[in-house]
Amino acid sequence: MNTALFVILILLLLACIVLLVRSTKKKNEAIDRLLKEEQAIVEEERRMFSFLHDLGEAIAREDSQAAMYRLIVEGAMKVMESTGGALYLLDASERSLVPRHHSDKCVPLVALPESIANMARSNRPSLLSFLRLHPVTITEGLLGSIFQNQKVEILTDLSADPRLGGHGANLHAETTVIIGPLNSGTKKLGVLAMTAPKDKRSYNNNDFEVFRSLVEQCAFALANAMAHQAATEKKQIELELKSASDVQRILLPSKAPAMPGFTIAGKNIPATTLSGDYFDFIPLAGRSLGIVIADVSGKGTAAALITAMCRSVLRFSADGAAGPAATLAAVNRHIFPDIRENRFITLIYLVASADGSSFRLARAGHTRPLVWRKQTGQVETLNSGGLAIGIDKGEVFERVTKELEFQLSPGDTLLLYTDGVNEAMDAQGEEFGEERIHTTLATLAPEGPQAVIDGLVYEVDRFCGGRRCHDDITLVVLQKT
């Protein structure tokens, strides 16, 4: 009995030892598993922080957009332990998603034409060229669906997803994808996707949360980079416009010409950085003087370029022409072939004889000149027919453009102006009008040309309530002393 009991006790002890060993082994395995999971999380966090650090440095360095896109895709691939990645961003029209970076091993995420799918089997570079150049509409296929729904998705088998369509199903086989939208606030930016072979990677719930956080950070970085890029481009444009404005100001007369028996003044006030108005004084043969005031339709860069072109052509044509009308005819024939249909130039060109005894004027659709007569104290309008430059190739223009000859007596004052004066509006939409111009001219003409210009500018500014004029203002005043 004692021997049997002893054996039983020994067996029980051995069973307990076995159970204890197994339990310890399971606990050790569980601990090892937890340690591995912890290490994996630590590694994942390290990769994420490293990626965010690189992203922040790229923004600070003002890297190019292409470099930023590449960093986002390749950095996300490292964080998500993926073999491929692609970044599609919304284009300026907000109708298409454009591939900004597509890694070499990223499988197609768009429907493929049959020709491309067939070629891809033997020519991988041709497939990559297609994928890197082919945009998709924001409502098209898998990418459009993610962009519209604004939700992160895990696709365990890409080939089974009905949103791909097209050809090349074999290219999608055995591939898993995690894909999500990029947005900043309410603004949709695009789509980021990671791909990997199913036998090497399986995205889980933790990956889902990590990827969702990752696309948020990428979208934030992109939004900041875009804002910085826009600010840089705006600053560059402003500098270029300032340089263009400086050049344009050089083309305007720096001072009035000396003309015995006359006082002359001119002024140009652009509504924006660049002006579509200009005035000029042109010395002519026989000591006569050409005086020009012009207004190109529209404002900004296009109007400024046409202004410069008009000035050059007119100066080139002036000396060899028989008179103002012939000069304008030559200018119109030169400019008409190079001016768009919605552009035209109104212009007045007058030639003062060397002794100032007479003036010949031609008007190309411009506002009519005014003369204040000292003897009567009245303001006269000088009427002459004329068509704006750039509307007709020549025959009609030359038929309707007529010259007008007139004289000035001592004290008489001639005013040329652009429609930025008479069409200036107050807060209620009322125009300054010609009557106020007449009144101001009659009041200030006795004080000289500069007083007329300063007074008109002041009155227009006061009428508009200090608001910036919507159009350029140009004035030329000539007075016989």
Tokens of 481: 């002393």
Rounded to whole angstroms, what are the CA distances from 320 to 315, 324, 327?
10, 11, 8
- Domain stops at, among 170, 198, 227: 227
Alpha carbon distance 143, 149 (integer Å)? 10
432 shares a domain with 283: yes
Residues 308 and 409 in one domain: yes
| Of 476, 338, 342, 332, residue with least CA distance to 417 | 476
Looking at the fold, whether 215 and 263 belong to one and the same domain comes out as no
Report d(CA 106, CA 122) in Å as an integer: 17
pLDDT at 28: 62
What CATH number is given to the structural domain containing 414?
3.60.40.10
pLDDT score of 244: 66
Is 128 inside a domain boundary? Answer: yes
**HEC-encoded secondary structure of the chain:** CHHHHHHHHHHHHHHHHHHHHHHHHHHHHHHHHHHHHHHHHHHHHHHHHHHHHHHHHHHHHCCCHHHHHHHHHHHHHHHHCCCEEEEEEECCCCCEEEEEEECCCCCCCCCECHHHHHHHCCCHHHHHHHHHHCCEECCCHHHHHHHHHCCCEEECCHHHCCCCCCECHHHHCCEEEEEEEEEECCEEEEEEEEEEECCCCCCCHHHHHHHHHHHHHHHHHHHHHHHHHHHHHHHHHHHHHHHHHHHHHHHCCCCCCCCCCEEEEEEEECCCCCCCEEEEEEECHHHCEEEEEEEECCCHHHHHHHHHHHHHHHHHHHCCCCCHHHHHHHHHHHHHHHCCCCCCEEEEEEEECCCCCCEEEEEEECCCCEEEECCCCEEEECCCCCCCECCCCCHHHHHHCCEEEECCCCCCEEEEECHHHHCCECCCCCECHHHHHHHHHHHHHHHCHHHHHHHHHHHHHHHCCCCCCCCCEEEEEEEEC
Q: Give the closest residue to 155 by CA, choosing from 182, 136, 172, 179.
A: 179
What pLDDT is recorded for position 123? Answer: 80
Q: Is residue 36 part of a domain?
A: no
Residue 395 shares a structural domain with residue 449? yes
pLDDT in tens, the chain (481 residues): 567 777 777 777 777 776 766 766 666 666 556 555 555 544 655 666 667 666 666 665 666 788 889 999 999 999 899 999 999 999 989 999 999 999 999 999 998 888 888 887 778 888 899 999 999 999 989 999 999 999 999 999 998 888 887 666 678 888 999 999 999 888 999 999 999 999 889 999 889 998 999 999 899 888 888 887 777 777 777 776 677 667 667 778 988 898 889 999 999 998 887 788 999 999 998 889 999 999 998 777 888 888 888 999 999 999 877 899 999 999 999 999 988 777 899 999 999 998 889 999 999 999 999 999 999 999 999 998 899 999 998 899 999 999 999 999 999 999 999 999 999 998 888 999 999 999 999 999 999 999 999 999 999 999 998 776 678 999 999 999 9
Answer whether residue 12 is part of any domain: no
Residues 186, 262 share a domain: no
Residue 156 belongs to domain with CATH number: 3.30.450.40
- Is residue 19 situated within a structural domain? no
Give the model's pLDDT for residue 124: 80
Question: What is the pLDDT, as a whole number, of residue 272?
Answer: 80
First-residue to last-residue Cα distance in the chain: 151
Contact 416/349 with Cβ under 8 angstroms? no
Task: Let me know whether 167 and 111 are in one domain.
Answer: yes
Residue 152 and residue 298 in one domain: no
Core vs surface per residue 98-121: b (16+ CB within 10 A) or e: bbbbbbeebbbbbbbeeebbebbe
Q: How far is CA 315 from CA 49, 291, 311, 365, in A?
A: 66, 11, 6, 19
The domain in which residue 308 lies consists of 247-480
The reply to whether 415 and 283 lie within a common domain is yes
pLDDT of residue 197: 94
Do 208 and 274 have their domain in common?
Answer: no
Q: Quote the radius of gyration of the chain (alpha carbons, Å).
A: 39
Same domain, 166 and 283: no
How much is the pLDDT for 113?
A: 85
Q: Considering the domain boundaries, does residue 241 fall inside one? A: no
* 232: in domain: no
Report pLDDT for 423. Answer: 93
Structural domain contains residue 18? no
Q: Examine residue 233 and state whether it is found in any structural domain, yes or no.
A: no
Same structural domain, 410 and 319:
yes
Domain count, the chain: 2
205 and 109, same structural domain? yes
